[in-house]
């Protein structure tokens, strides 16, 4: 029998700890769970040094790849937020330049086993238009997070 899905409270604790990460602070990203089926990463505001895709004001592809890595890597929390996880495969499709001062990535789990979690994600520009999509695979570790069952804050 599969374990029970996490509660909104458990996911909120995961976000609270994860959003204290120096790495997320450096990128200016925040992780959230708008519902029990979706993980969301928001970049707000987009900084000037994060722009420059194709020499324009679009967000740079490396920044978008980092957002996809984060949102796919956090998708296993929708299965078990107490266990560590990491992205092990990522396939990205860029459709349009991502513009705006606030961009959002959202992912959902498409299939999950004991150790592997498959997810699909999209990035939306400042107007809410989908501009990029990704599929990925994360490994769900048997090792719990070091700090009281939540992601490490370093």
Residues 6+ positions from 139 with CB-CB distance below 8 Å = 85, 86, 88, 115, 116, 117
Which DSSP letter does residue 60 get?
P
Query: Mind listing the pLDDT tens digit for each residue in 52-101?
Result: 877 889 999 999 999 999 999 999 999 999 899 999 999 999 999 999 99
The CA radius of gyration of the chain, in Å to the nearest whole number, is 15
Q: Which fold has domain 8-144?
A: Thiol Ester Dehydrase; Chain A (3.10.129)
Can you read off the two tokens belonging to residue 23? 């790495």
In this predicted structure, what is the pLDDT of residue 2? 65
In this predicted structure, what is the pLDDT of residue 1? 62
What is the C-alpha separation between 151 and 143, in angstroms, rounded?
11
Query: Mind listing the pLDDT tens digit for each residue in 31-55?
Result: 999 999 999 999 999 999 999 877 8
Question: What are the residue ranges spanned by the domains of the chain?
Answer: 8-144
Portion of the chain with pLDDT greater than 90, in percent: 81
Portion of the chain with pLDDT greater than 70, in percent: 93
- Has residue 153 got a pLDDT over 80? no
Q: Is 40 within 8 Å of 34 (Cβ atoms)?
A: yes
């Amino acid at each position: 029998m599969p374990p029970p899905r996490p509660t909104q409270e458990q996911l909120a604790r995961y976000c609270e700890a994860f959003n204290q990460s120096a790495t997320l602070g450096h990128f200016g990203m925040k992780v959230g769970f708008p519902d029990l089926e979706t993980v969301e990463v928001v970049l707000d505001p987009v900084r000037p040094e994060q722009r420059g895709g194709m020499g324009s004001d679009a967000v740079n592809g490396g920044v978008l790849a980092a957002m996809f890595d984060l949102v796919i890597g956090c998708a296993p929390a929708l299965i078990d937020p107490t266990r560590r996880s990491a992205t092990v495969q990522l396939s990205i499709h860029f459709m349009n330049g991502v513009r705006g001062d606030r961009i959002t990535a959202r992912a959902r789990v498409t299939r999950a086993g004991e150790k592997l979690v498959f997810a699909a994600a999209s990035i939306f520009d400042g107007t809410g238009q989908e501009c990029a999509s990704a599929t990925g695979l994360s490994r769900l570790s048997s090792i719990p997070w070091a700090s009281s069952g939540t992601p490490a804050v370093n």
